[in-house]
């Protein structure tokens, strides 16, 4: 181990022992710390001095010789306990005395090395933490997970618009704090805060959790003692079995309470609330309250949480397994404000700024509603969010330790919510209870654990929390004393006493300037006679213990940051991390180590540590205010979207109306009165597999026009095609220009395919409403989809095509059939599945066709067989029969189209209009200040800015909301994460309604077919095409699910068409040619 290895690698973390003006470690080693020459290892004394300066977490650094599986000389140790890890081999146990033939390690050096964790092992700890987090989030493994990953049902961070008065009840270690905070909607920059502190009587911490009834007066409860002094600390054991003569009680009747019982915890908190409110002026009728309850709970709602277990000296009976929010709410509901405020004259006074002025009139009730429960970690996170960079992670390192973060809701499998994010309380103090930390535990840690009240539990917390660090140091010193390395000549029996050295003393000892003096004072107070060297070594041990705590916290934090980055699909995560707790606040180097090691362990994450300001109080108030804002937001959303959320009854009515309109459309006398035209197509059969030959096909149904050649052979169908654009000026110009353009495209295609000399049968897919008078004769009824070419409505489109061919002198054009895309889709799928007798299009527009019994088609002569009916159901509702389901948004969309009042059903369903419906809803939400913080969005005023394709993208399962935000930002919308959640909900609502309405229409079709054929159960296939059906991630699922509910006697199979409008038109021509053969 030569001097070439003595330079500090990246990752060295300096402790307070090193001043900025001190020489580097390598310099001290060569000079002050032992005079090592090149090629020689440092002396043990040098090692010891170096540890006084820093902790090394770099890779394989000789200053950190205790690498996994190595001794203090840095040489590899053979070990039967070695196991493979992601970072290489790692020893499973600490053998402090294990040495090789390298430089001798003193007991102090071995202790320091044992308490130091190298970066490689921290990476392993990070990986194990991430695995433990995944187990906690999984529904399958959650119950067995040590890192519980408890959902908090907090689904948003503050956005700065929160306003109003919020009350907080914070249960602390030895007191209850009541706080009232007024938020002004100014970004939470200048909240007004008033608070009071009430001491918790010991009996309330240990007594019954719920109110105890006793004596002859049912419902009696001891509420307090009319004696001066701190609340619950009256002479005569107020609240115990022996009472002062002036004790009083509230209850039913006038009978005495026999016997009196200890004041239950939740009634005590409720009385604190009442006492506090007695000094508040201008009270509101309703005050929302956030409850800070720092114990492990299973939350099922924001305001519903069952206590899992007590800790921190609390052990109230009868509370575990019960809803603590309901217990507090019940206690609050029992409180009244009397003539003398709370509990009568002289009732226990609060600590800190008590206000004796009572603003409440006798008998007046305060309606205090507990709306949110949280722990201190969540509150810490909430105080550190800014508009520019939300805080999504919090870390508390106090007597205990915990963390929380905003997880993608879809990965929190133990809750039903899949949209947005949810704050997860990791409860990571229990990490390692499954032995995952055994290979970093020292004998000192094991002794601390054994003498704790919960051996084998909270292993991570016992390495990190300030409640335990003093005892870790104490056990280390005790072991070193036994090895005669410390306190020689002193009686060290006192070191065997738990708590003899506390964490506050440890933090004072590691101080740069006063640490040595503090060490001497603390040790002499224990009756020890420390030497200067003893004080120095104690300081080194203290620094190692605190630094290890920071490094382990960093490993946990890096695991959280890495998990967030991975779950959101980010290359780099940038976020604030709120930090609070005694260790972080009292020891500045703790934060520096935490920041540095986190950066080393999570290099793809940029996390700024932000000190929390009153996370438990103000943070809880902000949580509560956010909950209220979200509740108001939810009411606005539900009210706005309610008309679009159709019930089963609504859909059954739509189904019945569709059936009614179908019957009217089929009747010769009633056809003109129906909004569903039920047009005969003169297609009398579907493909039977015997069709052969070459056919041309044209497909006109939107802004793109296709020409195809289709070759039907025994071994299948082969096609060649080309797409041609139809410019807007031609779509909305003259009919002659439109059909001349079509013929030009046909000629260009035939030239490229060397078909100019052949006369091939041609099938023409013309996807607009037509009245068909024959297989090759169709009169255009109206333009849709943005077309408005003049001179076409009321004309035979086949004849218009033929005339254009004559003008272009293209005489080799033989049109044998004209169909729309819906019929083509049915025919295309019918070639693959003989049961396909329905066609459905859900794309830019929507339509359906089906095989109807000829005897029911009153508009065509003939009784035998079947004929395909083109329903043209896009116009369903044009006669007003669907007005009851049209919303204001639908009307706005309709009014701005080129055909107001027409194609009403299509405007509820098809891709051409859904984006516009969403846009109008978003505008309404902005106006109600629900979206984009109520700021004007000029870009959103632009018509058609929100394309239907955005709905399909936004609703993709698993799409991170970061990507939803990106879509909205591309539209120049200043969308927050929360806005993304709401926009997704709007999209889901609009697309769900479209799918359900489509299902209602289709249910009418299949039920009619079943009844026509006298079947108890119909099995039929629907050939389906259209981008909305094919591309939207949920449309087809919603459609099929609702169809099963509305038509339970029909088994419907959906077969997606492959080029139905092209291949289908050719197959119509092929079937026509087959029927014409002798």
Cβ contact 441:409 at 8 Å? no
Catalytic residue chosen out of the listed positions 821, 878, 890, 979: 821
Q: How many CB atoms lie within 10 A of CB 21?
A: 5
Cα 445 to Cα 694: distance, rounded to the nearest angstrom:
84
Cα 743 to Cα 739: distance, rounded to the nearest angstrom:
6
Cβ contact 1005:1022 at 8 Å? no
Token code pair at residue 106: 């003193």
Burial of 831 (0-12, 13-18, 19+ CB in 10 A): buried
User: Residues in the chain, how many?
Assistant: 1078
Q: What values do phi and psi take at 603, rounded to 5?
A: -65, -20
Q: How many CB atoms lie within 10 A of CB 747?
A: 19
Catalytic residue chosen out of the listed positions 674, 767, 952, 991: 767
Cα 330 to Cα 99: distance, rounded to the nearest angstrom:
63
CA angle 212, 218, 220 (to 5 degrees): 50
Cα 309 to Cα 431: distance, rounded to the nearest angstrom:
17
Cβ contact 765:1061 at 8 Å? yes
**DSSP summary character for residue 991:** H
Q: Is 821 a catalytic residue?
A: yes
Residues in contact with 879: Cβ distance below 8 Å, sequence separation at least 6, in sequence order: 673, 674, 675
What sections of 289-367 are H helices per DSSP? 324-333
Residues in contact with 896: Cβ distance below 8 Å, sequence separation at least 6, in sequence order: 916, 943
Cβ contact 944:971 at 8 Å? no
Render 360-380 in DSSP notation, one character per residue. SPTTPPPEEEEEEEE-HHHHH
Render 764-787 in DSSP notation, one character per residue. EEE-S-EEEEETTEEEE----TT-
Token code pair at residue 589: 């180097």
Q: Is 706 a catalytic residue?
A: yes
Angle between the N-to-C axes of helices 977-1012 and 1035-1046, in degrees from 0 to 180, rounded to the nearest 10: 40
Cα 642 to Cα 986: distance, rounded to the nearest angstrom:
11
Cα 436 to Cα 453: distance, rounded to the nearest angstrom:
21
Residues in contact with 129: Cβ distance below 8 Å, sequence separation at least 6, in sequence order: 147, 428, 431, 555, 556, 559
Cα 610 to Cα 591: distance, rounded to the nearest angstrom:
10
Residue from 658, 647, 646 nearest 875 by CA: 658
Token code pair at residue 327: 């217990």
Give the per-residue SS3 of 223-235. EECCCCCECCCCC
Q: What values do phi and psi take at 793, rounded to 5?
A: -60, 130
Give the per-residue SS3 of 910-928. CHHHHHHHHHHHHHHHHHC
Residue with tokens 């907080």: 168
Q: Is 71 a catalytic residue?
A: no
> At 609, which helix (H) or strand (E)?
strand 605-611
Helix (H, G, I), strand (E, B) or coil at 455: coil
Cα 237 to Cα 253: distance, rounded to the nearest angstrom:
25
Catalytic residue chosen out of the listed positions 474, 520, 659, 706: 706
Cα 398 to Cα 468: distance, rounded to the nearest angstrom:
10
- Beta strands 573-580; 391-397: pairing state: parallel
Cβ contact 83:89 at 8 Å? yes
Active site residues: 706, 767, 821
């Amino acid at each position: 181990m030569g001097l070439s290895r003595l330079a500090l690698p990246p990752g060295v973390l300096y402790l307070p022992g090193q001043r900025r003006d001190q020489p580097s470690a390598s310099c001290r080693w060569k000079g002050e710390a032992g005079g090592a020459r090149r090629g020689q290892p440092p002396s043990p004394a040098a090692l010891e001095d170096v540890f006084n300066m820093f902790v090394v977490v770099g890779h394989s650094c000789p200053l950190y010789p205790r690498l996994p599986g190595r001794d203090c000389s840095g040489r590899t140790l053979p070990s039967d306990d070695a196991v493979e890890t992601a970072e290489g081999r790692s020893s499973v146990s600490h053998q402090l005395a294990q040495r090789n033939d390298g430089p001798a390690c003193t007991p102090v050096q071995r202790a320091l090395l044992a308490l130091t964790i190298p970066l490689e092992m921290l990476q392993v700890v990070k990986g194990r933490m991430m695995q433990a987090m995944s187990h906690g989030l999984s529904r399958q493994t959650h119950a067995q997970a040590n890192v519980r990953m408890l959902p908090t049902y907090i689904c948003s961070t503050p956005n700065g618009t929160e306003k109003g008065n919020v009350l907080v009840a914070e249960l602390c270690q030895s007191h209850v704090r009541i706080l009232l905070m007024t938020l002004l909607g100014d970004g939470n920059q200048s909240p007004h805060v008033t608070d009071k502190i009430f001491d918790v009587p010991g009996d309330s911490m240990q007594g019954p959790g719920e109110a105890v009834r006793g004596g002859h007066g049912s419902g009696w409860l001891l509420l307090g003692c009319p004696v001066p002094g701190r609340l619950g600390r009256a002479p005569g054991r107020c609240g115990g079995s022996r009472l002062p003569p002036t004790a009083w009680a509230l209850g039913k009747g006038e009978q005495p309470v026999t016997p009196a019982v200890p004041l239950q915890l939740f009634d005590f908190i409720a009385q604190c609330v009442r006492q506090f409110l007695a000094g508040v002026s201008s009270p509101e009728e309703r005050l929302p309250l956030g409850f800070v309850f720092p114990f492990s709970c299973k939350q099922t709602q924001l305001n519903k949480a069952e206590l899992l277990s007590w800790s921190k000296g609390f052990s109230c009976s009868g509370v575990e397994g019960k809803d603590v929010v309901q217990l507090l709410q019940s206690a609050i509901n029992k409180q009244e404000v009397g003539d003398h405020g709370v509990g009568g004259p002289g009732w226990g006074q609060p600590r800190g700024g008590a206000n004796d002025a009572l603003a409440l009139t006798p008998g007046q009730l305060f309606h205090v509603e507990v709306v949110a429960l949280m722990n201190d970690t969540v509150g810490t996170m909430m105080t550190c969010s800014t508009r520019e960079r939300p805080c999504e992670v919090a870390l508390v390192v106090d007597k205990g330790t915990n963390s929380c973060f905003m997880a993608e809701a879809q990965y929190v499998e133990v809750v039903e919510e899949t949209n947005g994010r949810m704050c997860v309380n990791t409860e990571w103090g229990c990490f390692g209870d499954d032995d995952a930390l055994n290979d970093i535990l020292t004998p000192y840690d094991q002794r601390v654990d054994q003498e704790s009240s919960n051996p084998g539990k909270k292993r991570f917390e016992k390495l990190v929390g300030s409640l335990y660090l003093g005892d870790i140091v104490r056990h280390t010193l005790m072991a070193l004393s036994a090895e005669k390395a410390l306190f020689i000549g002193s009686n060290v029996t006192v070191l065997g006493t738990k708590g003899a050295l506390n964490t506050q003393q440890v933090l004072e000892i590691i101080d740069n300037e006063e640490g040595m003096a503090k060490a001497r004072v603390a040790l002499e107070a224990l009756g020890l006679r420390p030497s200067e060297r003893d004080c120095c070594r104690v300081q080194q041990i203290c620094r190692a213990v605190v630094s290890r705590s920071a490094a382990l916290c960093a490993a946990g934090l890096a695991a959280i940051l890495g998990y967030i980055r991975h779950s959101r699909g980010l290359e780099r995560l940038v976020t604030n991390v709120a930090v609070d707790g005694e260790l972080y606040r009292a020891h500045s180097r703790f934060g520096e180590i935490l920041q540095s090691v986190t950066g080393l362990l999570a290099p793809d994450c940029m996390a700024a540590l932000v000190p929390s300001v009153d996370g438990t109080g103000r943070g809880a108030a902000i949580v509560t205010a956010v909950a209220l804002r979200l509740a108001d937001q939810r009411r606005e959303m539900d009210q706005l979207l309610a008309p679009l959320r159709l019930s089963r009854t609504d859909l059954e009515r739509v189904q019945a109306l569709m059936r009614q309109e179908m019957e009217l459309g089929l009747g010769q006398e009633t056809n003109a009165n129906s909004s569903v035209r039920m047009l005969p197509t003169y297609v009398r059969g579907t493909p039977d597999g015997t069709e052969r030959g070459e056919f041309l096909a044209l497909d006109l149904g939107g802004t793109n026009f296709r020409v195809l050649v289709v070759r039907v052979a025994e071994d299948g169908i082969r096609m060649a095609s080309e797409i041609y654009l139809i410019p807007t000026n031609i779509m909305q110009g003259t009919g002659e220009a439109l059909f001349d353009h079509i013929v030009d495209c046909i000629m260009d295609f035939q030239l490229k395919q060397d078909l100019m000399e052949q006369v091939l049968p041609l099938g023409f897919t013309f996807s607009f409403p037509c009245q068909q008078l024959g297989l090759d004769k169709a009169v255009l009824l109206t333009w849709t989809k943005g077309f408005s070419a003049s001179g076409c409505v009321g004309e035979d489109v086949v004849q218009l095509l033929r005339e254009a061919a004559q003008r272009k002198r293209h005489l080799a054009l033989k049109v044998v059939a004209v169909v729309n895309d819906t019929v083509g889709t049915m025919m295309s799928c019918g070639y693959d599945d003989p049961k396909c007798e329905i066609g459905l299009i859900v794309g830019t527009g929507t339509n359906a066709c089906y095989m109807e019994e000829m005897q029911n088609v009153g508009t065509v002569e003939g009784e035998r067989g079947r004929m395909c009916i083109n329903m043209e159901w896009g116009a369903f509702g044009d006669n007003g029969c669907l007005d009851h389901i049209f919303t204001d948004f639908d009307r706005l969309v309709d009014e701005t189209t080129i055909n107001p009042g027409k194609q009403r059903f299509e405007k509820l369903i098809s891709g051409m209009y859904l984006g516009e419906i969403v846009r109008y809803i978003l505008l309404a939400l902005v106006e109600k200040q629900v979206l984009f913080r109520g700021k004007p969005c000029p870009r959103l005023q632009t018509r058609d800015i929100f394309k239907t394709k955005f709905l399909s993208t936004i609703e993709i399962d698993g799409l991170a909301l970061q990507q939803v935000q990106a879509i909205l930002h591309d539209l120049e919308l200043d969308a927050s994460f929360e806005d993304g959640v709401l926009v997704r909900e709007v999209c889901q609502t609009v697309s769900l309604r479209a799918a359900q309405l489509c299902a209602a229409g289709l249910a009418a079709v299949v039920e009619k077919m079943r009844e026509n054929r006298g079947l108890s159960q119909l099995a039929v296939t629907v050939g389906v095409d259209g981008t909305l059906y094919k591309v939207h991630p949920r449309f087809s699922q919603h459609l099929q699910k609702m169809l099963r509910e509305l038509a339970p006697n029909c088994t419907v199979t959906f077969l997606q068409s492959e080029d139905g409008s092209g291949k289908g038109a050719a197959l119509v021509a092929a079937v026509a040619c087959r029927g014409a053969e002798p």
